[in-house]
Chain A
Amino acid sequence: MQTNHPASAVGPVVSKQLTLDGVSKRFKGSVALQQVCLTVQPGELISLLGPSGCGKTTTLRLIAGFDFPDEGTVRIDGEDISHLPPNKRGLGMVFQNYSLFPHLTVAQNIGFGLKMANHPKDRISSEVKRMLDMIRLNEYGDRNIAQLSGGQQQRVALARAIVTNPSVLLLDEPLGALDKNLREGMQFEIRRLQQSLGITSVMVTHDQEEAMTMSDRIVVMSHGRILQIGRPHEVYDQPRTRFVAEFLGTANILTCQLEQVQGNRLDFSILRRDGTSDNPPVRQSAHRLRLDSDIVPAWLKQGGIAEIAIRPEKLRLGPLAATDAITLTGTVQQHVFRGSQHSYKIEIPTIGATLTVNQAADSRKSATHQPGDGVTVSFDADAAVLLHPDDVAEPATRIGNSLSPLTQRKAA
């Protein structure tokens, strides 16, 4: 237990490693977390990203000790803390609504954790003062919480969480209650503080921009499982599944059929969607797509159907010089100006799909296209990402029926 409570609140921070090992949690029969494995390296900030109900909050609550796992263990530096109560874990936490104690002053709020750890009074007041300096609220120590603005409360909540020198800092939608401008400023401020202190941190968010801005690595979750773990650009540029591709930013999804495999080259033909998008795309279009792949995925058979994602900003209006570039022709349906970019919806009749294309807005270079204009859309083959058909990170558990979603889709 001593190891969880560093005696000194000052001095160098010893970064610790947090490990979730096969953690599962059920609530009244419904599964909230399934076999989640995750290692947060010392000093790293990891974001748990996903829609509501994906298990990210449950994961945070299990780490905090508000709930206990049904299976698996939670470890800090190898020490099993799965069944310790929250007050014995030596963590820091920032809540979405800050959860500052309304009956205590700013200084009392910050000093609460030190008081609980039975630090002497003068020590507490000097630490609180140091924290108030750090969050630039020196004059606010005796104020009531209600007298602070949202951003100030946020900083007090952060100071309260880190003054005890926690082994792991938990951030539960820490900026959710702030307005946009303030939020962006705080993103950088929290990140800077976290990096300078070297606190191992886990953040829960549903805001993908926030996750990208602040994290060393992003964990995308859905239905109680981890879909993908990776650095922000990895997760964005190489999404593993359709869910990840669509949750992080926008993605154009093309359905393709594997024609043939030549060494590490996969030749696909793009399938054409008929009628409504609910119908399975069965008819072949004339378009071919050649992808390089280190290994041919085990789930992909000759003649099998796969989905491919292309980011809107990687599509170009107009032809490309490269030989393996794919060129489609279509009609502009919609045009939106977003300040930094133009966003077009372009209907491509040959594949029966509407693609989103983002072009950097620079009025000196490109003219805008109006709805009804006929345009050419092209992309390099290496801009396309082959998506795993299954939304589950560990294919081992589902190897027997890993193709079932596809066969179902075909049958329908």
Chain B
Amino acid sequence: MQIALAHSDTIKRRAAMPRSRRWLLIVPALAFLIIFFALPLFQNAVRGLDQQSGNLFSNYATLLTDDYYLKVVVETLVVSFNTTVLTLLIGYPVAYYMVRRAGRMALPMLFLLVAPLLTSIIMRTFGWRVLFARRGIVNEFLDWIGLIDRPINLLNGPFSVYVGQVHILVPFMVLSIIPVLRAVDTRLEESARVLGAGALSTFFRVTLPLSKDGIVTGVILVFMLSTGSFITQLLLGNGSIVTLPLLIFQQFSLTQNIGLASAMGNVLLIIVLTCLFIQLRLTDDKRGAR
């Protein structure tokens, strides 16, 4: 009886939309993805291959064997790693404060956190150039409190690059951690306290493990954004730190070595995909445990 009913149901649905034509519904979305994502990626993959010389993979060989390019790949990873760690160290306490201590100030704080995202990265980065200039506010201030005699060079070095990167990426970290931290039941912390755990022990044994999901998401997000950023390196580093995106930019606009630039883009893509894969594995594990 039920089978018969279900059967007649399918027949009815078939009448409304024949199975043979149902795939038409996904065509717009599919077309969009193919034209704007799959094709460019494919094109880039083809561009990265060297059609002139005999070795198709000569661009990749250059990237992964040439000392200079290898150093750039490593530097990209190192800069992104350091940026991520710094962002986490700054972002977690901010997120914790906003969730647990800010109370009514949480919303204004959230606005202050998100507001910078409304202005362009270039504007924000140039802001640091003004602050860090030879006779900028920072130097003037340090001079005024007597910490330095003459202006120090804050710009065009790793310091300003990291400051710029962390400044731009901290909101992403905080925004990733906040919802997870908010979902952590404070009564879990209270039960840990009653069971004899001190405040620090409670944080490291209960709060931190339970906010792992947010940390993983934030870390991966910041790491990916950091590996892909070149404006900060360009405007604040002025060539002192060369990462893959910066090099790609230079290869495209200055040297016009499109093949090598494409290969670098693909290497970057693989790095980012690896990160995503790791994130999925880590957070999936977590979900299974719950």
The 8 A CB mask of A139-177 against B (1 = contact, 0 = none) is 000001010000000000000110010000010000000
B35-63 vs A, CB cutoff 8 Å, 1 = contact: the mask equals 00000000000000000000000000000
**B-chain residues with CB within 8 Å of residue A65 when the two chains form the complex:** 193-194
Given contacts A102-B210, A102-B290, A103-B289, contact A92 B187 (CB under 8 A): no
Distance A99 CA – B209 CA, assembled complex (angstroms)? 15
Answer yes or no: B206 CB below 8 A from chain A CBs.
yes
The closest CB in chain A to the CB of B208 belongs to: A103
- A64-B190, A116-B196 known; A97-B185 Cβ under 8 A: yes
Is A85 interfacial (CB-CB < 8 Å)?
A: yes
- Whether the Cβ atoms of B195 and A146 lie closer than 8 Å is no
Instruction: Tell me which residues across on chain A come within 8 A of B196, comparing CB atoms.
Output: 5, 87, 90, 113, 116-117, 164
Cross-chain pairs A/B with CB under 8 angstroms, 17 sampled: A64-B194, A65-B194, A85-B193, A86-B190, A87-B196, A87-B197, A89-B194, A93-B194, A99-B185, A101-B191, A101-B210, A103-B212, A112-B195, A116-B192, A116-B197, A117-B196, A164-B196
B212 contact set on A, CB distance < 8 A: 103
Nearest chain A residue, comparing its CB with the CB of B187: A99
Contact of B194 with A101 in the complex, beta carbons under 8 Å: no
Which B residues are in CB contact (< 8 Å) with A117?
196
- B105-130 residues with Cβ-Cβ distance < 8 A to A are none
A161 to B98 CA separation, bound complex (whole angstroms): 31
9 tightest CB-CB pairs across the interface, nearest first?
Answer: A116-B196, A113-B195, A86-B193, A99-B191, A93-B194, A99-B187, A103-B209, A116-B197, A87-B196
- Given the complex, which residues of B lie within 8 Å of A86, measured CB to CB? 190, 193-194
Which residues A164-192 have CB closer than 8 A to chain B? 164, 170
Interface residues of chain B, those whose CB is within 8 Å of chain A, are 185, 187-188, 190-199, 201, 206, 209-210, 212, 289-290
Contacts A99-B185, A112-B192 given; does A144 touch B289 at CB 8 Å? yes
A103 and B191 contacting across the interface, CB-CB below 8 Å: no
Asked whether A116 lies within 8 Å of B201 as measured between CB atoms, the reply is yes
Contact A97 B187 (CB under 8 A): yes
- Encoded as 1 (CB less than 8 Å from any B CB) or 0, chain A from 297 to 309 comes to 0000000000000
Q: A93-B191, A102-B290 are in contact. List 14 more A-B contacts (CB 8 A).
A: A64-B190, A64-B194, A65-B193, A93-B194, A99-B188, A101-B188, A102-B210, A103-B209, A103-B212, A113-B196, A116-B201, A144-B289, A144-B290, A146-B289
A144 CA to B290 CA, complexed, in Å: 7
Within 8 A of B (CB), among A94-116: 95, 97, 99, 101-103, 112-113, 116
Task: State the Cβ distance, B245 to closest chain A Cβ, in Å.
Answer: 37
Report yes or no: B194 in contact with A92, Cβ–Cβ below 8 A. Answer: yes
CB distance from B46 to the nearest CB of A (A): 46
Q: Which of A50-91 contact B (CB under 8 A)?
A: 64-66, 85-87, 89-91
A86→B191 CA distance, assembly (Å): 9
Give the nearest-CB partner of B198 in chain A.
Answer: A87
Give Cα A93–Cα B190 distance, bound, in whole angstroms. Answer: 9
Among B193, B196, B201, B209, residue most surrounded by chain A Cβ atoms (within 10 Å): B196
A199 to chain B: closest CB distance in Å?
A: 14
Bound together, the chains give a CA A113 to CA B289 distance in angstroms of 22
Cα-based distance from A99 to B191 in the complex (angstroms) = 7
